[in-house]
């Protein structure tokens, strides 16, 4: 079977450097890195009482790893606004956490080299468990200041409604 059903001439997998992240229906500015989407299902071992020499295995609880987003520091307040919904120091007793809307669904879109949407993943019920507003400051360094957002989540799935795009051919 061909790796690609629409673009049967294509053999190369999609690259990892063309992507966008969206929440609250808007694309978030400047995200330069997204950690992998990973899930792990525990193995439940059991054995029959009459078979002492081997055990059987079956799937148990599935856990979803946190997703980390990185971007250069800008004036866009989206990372900080979301982190403050989980814990806003000094907001007053009982107002530190926004229980109504601290969770968000996040969409991660992957594009092909032509800039066409190729894959989309929905990450469900995310919330900020770790927020880094600034990276280390170093007067002797030559680097960009980076923000980190670590998102706990309750699962993800590929959006199968996104079809494989028909890739354009160059006119000669």
CATH top class, domain 19-39+63-158: mainly beta
CB contact set of 49 (below 8 Å; sequence gap of 6+)? none
Determine the 3-state secondary structure of 127 from DSSP.
Answer: strand
CB contact set of 62 (below 8 Å; sequence gap of 6+)? 39, 40, 41, 42, 155
Taking the model in full, what pTM does it have? Answer: 0.84
Average pLDDT (157-169) is 88
CA atoms within 13 A on the CB side of 121: 16
Average pLDDT (57-77) is 94
Q: Is the pLDDT of residue 172 over 70?
A: no
Average pLDDT (145-164) is 95
Distance in angstroms (rounded) separating the CA atoms of residues 20 and 35: 13
- pLDDT tens, position by position, 7-37: 666 667 778 999 999 999 999 989 999 999 9
What are the domain boundaries of the chain?
A: 19-39+63-158
Distance in angstroms (rounded) separating the CA atoms of residues 151 and 108: 13
Q: Can you read off the two tokens belonging to residue 145?
A: 């200041």
What is the pLDDT, as a whole number, of residue 122? 98
Least confident of 26-30, 45-49, 94-98: 94-98
Mean pLDDT of the chain: 87
Find, among 120, 124, 100, 128, the residue nearest to 27 by Cα: 120
- pLDDT tens, position by position, 117-136: 999 999 999 999 999 999 99
CA atoms within 13 A on the CB side of 124: 8
Find, among 159, 146, 153, 148, the residue nearest to 37 by Cα: 153
When pLDDT is cut at 50, 70 and 90, the band that residue 84 belongs to is confident
């Amino acid at each position: 079977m061909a790796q690609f059903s629409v673009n049967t001439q294509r053999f190369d997998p999609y690259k990892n450097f063309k992507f966008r992240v969206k929440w609250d229906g808007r694309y978030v500015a400047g995200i330069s890195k997204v950690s992998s989407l990973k899930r792990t299902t525990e193995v439940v071992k059991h054995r029959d009482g009459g078979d002492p020499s081997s055990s059987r295995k079956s799937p148990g609880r599935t856990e979803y790893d946190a997703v980390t987003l990185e971007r250069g520091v800008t004036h866009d307040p989206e990372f900080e606004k979301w982190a403050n919904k989980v814990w806003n120091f000094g907001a007053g007793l009982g107002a530190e956490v926004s229980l109504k809307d601290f969770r968000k669904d996040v969409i991660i879109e992957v594009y092909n080299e032509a800039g066409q949407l190729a894959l989309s993943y929905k990450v469900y019920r995310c919330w900020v468990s770790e927020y880094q507003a600034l990276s280390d400051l170093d007067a002797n360094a030559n680097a960009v200041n980076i923000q980190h957002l670590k998102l706990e989540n309750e699962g993800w799935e590929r959006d199968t409604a996104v079809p494989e795009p028909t890739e354009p051919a160059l006119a000669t």
